[in-house]
Structure 1
Amino acid sequence: MPLNLPDKLPAIELLKEENIFVIDNSRATRQDIRPLRIVILNLMPLKITTETDLVRLLSNTPLQVEISFMKIKSHTSKNTPIEHMKAFYTDFDKMRDEKYDGMIITGAPVEQMDFEEVTYWDEITEIFDWARTHVTSTLYICWAAQAGLYHHYGVPKYPLDAKMFGIFAHRTLQPLYPIFRGFDDVFYVPHSRHTEVRKEDILKVPGLTLLSESEEAGVYMVMARNGREFFVTGHSEYSPLTLDTEYRRDLAKGLPIEMPRNYYVDDNPDKGVSVRWRAHANLLFSNWLNYFVYQETPFNIEEIK
């Protein structure tokens, strides 16, 4: 079924070119069904790119999905046109009385700072707490996963000696769990981060379940509250060329950056990218929507608590 997106969102035309079925609000209002309401708090600097990546993965769903975009007042995006933000994003203050079936909170380019040093830390932790009573299931990605684990459960993050950068093999620790329905024994995920959370800290917290890890990349997925919270340290949503763009950008700036591991064909950037994570990225998001949002959320959305 299609995604219900704000009229004229750039992702609509971009994804139509990929033959992904999306509709705008005007058409969606003529369909007599109760859509799943998903809110995305997009903290990434390139908003339109992240919107398109996430919408692409949310498109394979059994029901109509209504997407809303949230922003925080205490930070102004420098890399996205202000007209785009005004047209498609709403301040948290104006959304706090709403309830949602699902929520996605993205990464942010602040991971090398202490959490409390982030200028919008107070506002974002308020949103973390709000989500617990206003959202059926919340998916925290990359920095948001580290921030959520720290805020809710006191799990610290640690700096890495070198950036975790590339495509890494992962395995499931709970293979029969519904979030992994259809997964292979080994699956691949992009990572791009300077910090990590550690297995030993996760295992100390009774309310956390470690679901997946990687020998090279460490902790990948942690669950809490029977699936009402998922913390995912990688970027399954990345498009094929995202790491390539990051790599070439940092090279051009003269920054210390190693070539992304296990990414290029024969480790040669001139030969292009070997995409090994697309199928499992689609499974991750469709399983989350199906088993932890659609099958768990009440028909009357106001009953979420």
Structure 2
Amino acid sequence: MPIKIPDQLPARDVLRQEHIFVMPESRATTQQIRPLKVLILNLMPKKIETETQFLRLLSNSPLQIDVELLRIDDRPSKNTPEEHLNSFYRQFDVVKNRNFDGLIITGAPLGLVQFEDVIYWSHLQTVIEWAKNHVTSTLYVCWAAQAALKSIYQLPKRTREDKLSGVYSHETQYQYHPLTRGFDDTFLAPHSRHADFDPTYLADNTDLDILAVSQQAGVYLACTKDKRNVFVTGHPEYEASTLHHEYQRDVDQGLSPMMPINYYPEDNPANSPRATWRSHGNLLFSNWLNYCVYQQTPFDLENFSEDKFTKDDE
């Protein structure tokens, strides 16, 4: 089944070239089925690139998905045309009285910034709190995962001495959990962050189910027991070249970054990297949509109630 996106969204042509089933909004309005409504809060500077990456993963599902894009505020963007933002992105005030089946909050390049110094921190906290009563399941990615741990569990920011960058091996902890169903015992996933997600620290200070862990990168995947909050500390949405572009950017800025681990063939940046995490990324998003969203969400979103999930979990 397809994802439904606006007819003129730039990602449409990219995804069609990859033979991904994308349904234009004009056609979807004639179908008599109820699509899942998924909201993406895009915090990344290069919004067109990021939205395309997430739409690619959301498309690999038998479910029809109605995607809407959300911006955190109305400040001008240095990396995305204002025309694009005005055409395809909603402001929070427009959606705050509605309910959604799923919400994805992306990462943000704020690893060394204290939460209280993030210009939109209070607004992000409002969105996270709003999701409790308006969203069936929320997926927090990379920086957003640490921000949600702070907002939901009051965990302080934990910063690594060195940036974690590269492709790391992870071990699946619970193969029969809905989110890890079909996962291999070990799998690869990219990371690009300064945040620290120590397994023991999270186990001692939260009630999260810790589902996948790396010896080098720490916790990769965790969720609340009701599956309404899912934390992904890496970047399953990344394209093969994304880490390369980040590394080259830091080199050009004179930051002397470490070369991404286990990424370039023969550890040579002159060699084109290959994606070794696509199958895992697609399976993770498919499981989230199926088990955390589709099988838990009410058919009539107007009947959404947090009490329903509390009672079901009990």
Q: TM-score, normalised by structure 1?
A: 0.97
Give, as a single letter, the amino acid of the residue that structure 2 aligns with 1:231.
F
Matches within 5 A, 1:128-207: 128-207=128-207
1:173-212 deviation digits (Å, cap 9, x = unpaired): 1111011111111001100011213223211235322111
Give, as a single letter, the amino acid of the residue that structure 2 aligns with 1:198.
D
**Which residue matches 2:46?**
46
Three-state SS of the structure 1 residue aligned to 2:156 is coil
Matches within 5 A, 1:231-246: 231-246=231-246
1:146-192 deviation digits (Å, cap 9, x = unpaired): 00011100222322121100000001111110111111110011000
What value does the CA root-mean-square deviation take over the aligned residues?
A: 1.2
1:228-273 deviation digits (Å, cap 9, x = unpaired): 0001110011011100111111112211211111011111122211
**More displaced stretch, 268-277 vs 284-293:** 268-277
Give, as a single letter, the amino acid of the residue that structure 1 aligns with 2:111.
E
Three-state SS of the structure 1 residue aligned to 2:205 is coil
**Which residue matches 2:92?**
92
**Which residue matches 2:113?**
113
C-alpha separation in 2, matches of 1:103 and 1:182 = 23
Matches within 5 A, 1:192-231: 192-231=192-231
Do the aligned partners of 1:7 and 1:25 also contact (CA within 8 Å) in 2? yes
Matches within 5 A, 1:2-151: 2-73=2-73, 75-151=75-151
Three-state SS of the structure 2 residue aligned to 1:256 is coil
Unaligned runs of 5+ in 1: none
**Which residue matches 2:312?**
none
- Shift of residue 30 of structure 1? 1.2
C-alpha separation in 2, matches of 1:212 and 1:234 = 11
C-alpha separation in 2, matches of 1:269 and 1:164 = 17
Runs of 4+ in structure 1 over 6 Å off: none
Three-state SS of the structure 1 residue aligned to 2:245 is helix
Do the aligned partners of 1:74 and 1:119 also contact (CA within 8 Å) in 2? no
**Which residue matches 2:257?**
257
Unaligned runs of 5+ in 2: 306-314
C-alpha separation in 1, matches of 2:110 and 2:206 = 28
Give, as a single letter, the amino acid of the residue that structure 1 aligns with 2:106.
T
Do the aligned partners of 2:115 and 2:157 also contact (CA within 8 Å) in 1? no
For these two proteins, the number of residue pairs brought into alignment is: 305
Do the aligned partners of 1:75 and 1:119 also contact (CA within 8 Å) in 2? no
- Shift of residue 74 of structure 1? 5.8
Three-state SS of the structure 2 residue aligned to 1:4 is strand
C-alpha separation in 2, matches of 1:214 and 1:156 = 21
Three-state SS of the structure 2 residue aligned to 1:69 is strand
**More displaced stretch, 138-147 vs 112-121:** 112-121
Q: TM-score, normalised by structure 2?
A: 0.94
C-alpha separation in 2, matches of 1:179 and 1:14 = 28
- Shift of residue 284 of structure 1? 0.3
1:44-64 deviation digits (Å, cap 9, x = unpaired): 010000000000000011221
| Identity rate, percent | 50
C-alpha separation in 1, matches of 2:100 and 2:47 = 21
Do the aligned partners of 1:157 and 1:197 also contact (CA within 8 Å) in 2? no
